[in-house]
Amino acid sequence: MKVTQTNINGLLIIEPDIFPDGRGYFFESYSQIKYQNNNVNFNFVQDNISKSKRGTIRGLHYQVGKNAQGKLCQVIIGKVLDVALDIRFNSPTFGKHFSIELSEQNHKQLWVPPGFAHGFSVLSDEVIFHYKCTAYYSKSDERSIWFNDPELNIDWKVDNYILSDKDKREKFLKEIDKDFFY
């Protein structure tokens, strides 16, 4: 397994060992001991799976307080542009984002720690997206940032996007509370 630090402190790209053969492939999507041996040591309490169609944008979501979530993200079927936005006040990269294509072909994972808003856009006809969380979902602690905030300048790589009603009513980065500090 290969772990790479991105240009934003705390965000990690994880590439599991893949074992292909004539039948297809096998890999361990998560092995606590292997992650611990690579200094990726988190206590996951919830797994989530979403299915979405091309052009869907989910995000930019995060949770605050005791329910702030770290997320280990991967794609089971299809391809997404996965985006993490640093919302840690006083961070040298506050308001900056990192994006990466996650797909069923590259098997890459993105570790998004608490203090980041997270989202993705669907680049394939369909996607099944999986993420492990370090805290349980809490509606009262749920927050979001407008995906298309001009201050963020994120290229989601989709033209005709599909949003949930909830994601159509979100705040701009400059409007969020100071829930995280670097």
Return d(Cα 9, Cα 45) in angstroms, integer: 24
Size of the chain, expressed as the number of residues it contains: 182
Catalytic residue among 35, 61, 97, 130, which? Answer: 61
Q: Which residue has 């989910």 as its token pair?
A: 58
**What does the DSSP 8-state code read for residue 56?**
B
Question: Does 131 qualify as catalytic in the annotation?
Answer: yes
Catalytic residue among 30, 130, 131, 137, which? Answer: 131
Burial (CB count within 10 angstroms: exposed 0-12, middle 13-18, buried 19+), residue 173: middle
Cα dihedral 144, 133, 56, 52 sign: negative
Which residues are designated catalytic?
61, 131
